[in-house]
Amino acid sequence: MISYQIIEHGKPLQKVLKEAPKPTGTEVLVRVTRSGVCHSDLHIWDGYFDLGGGKRFYVKDRGCVPPFTMGHEPFGVVEAVGPKAKGVKVGQKRIVFPWIGCGKCAMCKAERDNYCTAMRTIGVIRPGAYSTHLVVPHPKFEKVSVVQEPAIVKLPDGRLFCVMRTIAGSPFWTTSSDAGETWSKPARL
């Protein structure tokens, strides 16, 4: 597998070769075919978010310490599943919702992983999609709404999306995977 990793904040990404992981338990291995480049990736690459007025938020203070692979907007094809992974099959196209919670707190038990205070975000804390392969810990939310919960979710043919939760709301963009240049207007969900 090939990954492009941050070895040092602010420096060029480095190509890293290693064997593709084999999923165990409930894990799912996704062969990444596309990944968004989010503006937050640029800040993570730099190592900080500029808060204005000379203030900075350093990503290392939240556990984002090199070396690691960015990419929290992955799309790909299920290549392998662990023996306990249910509801997902090899060959299915999936988008991966990256906000993976701890699985133990009240928010995670209520299936609100995106509010977990011990989050293990793909592409920030867990290895991300700037790679040929990505391990997703669990397909448990496969049948719920794409926008509402962390998941490996079904995706209509020929569609991609980027979801970013913000204080103001959730913008939702779609484009044809074939054309790549026709974007819909953002919608509040």
Whole-angstrom distance, CA of residue 107 vs CA of residue 144: 16
pLDDT at residue number 69: 95
69 Cα distance to chain centroid: 11
User: Which pTM does this prediction carry?
Assistant: 0.73
pLDDT at residue number 176: 38
pLDDT tens sequence across 34-87: 888 888 899 999 999 999 999 999 999 988 899 999 998 888 889 999 999 888
Beta strands 55-58 and 48-52 are antiparallel
Letter for the amino acid at 188? Answer: R
Q: Give percent of the chain above pLDDT 90.
A: 40
pLDDT tens sequence across 140-188: 544 322 333 334 444 444 444 444 333 233 333 333 334 343 333 333 3
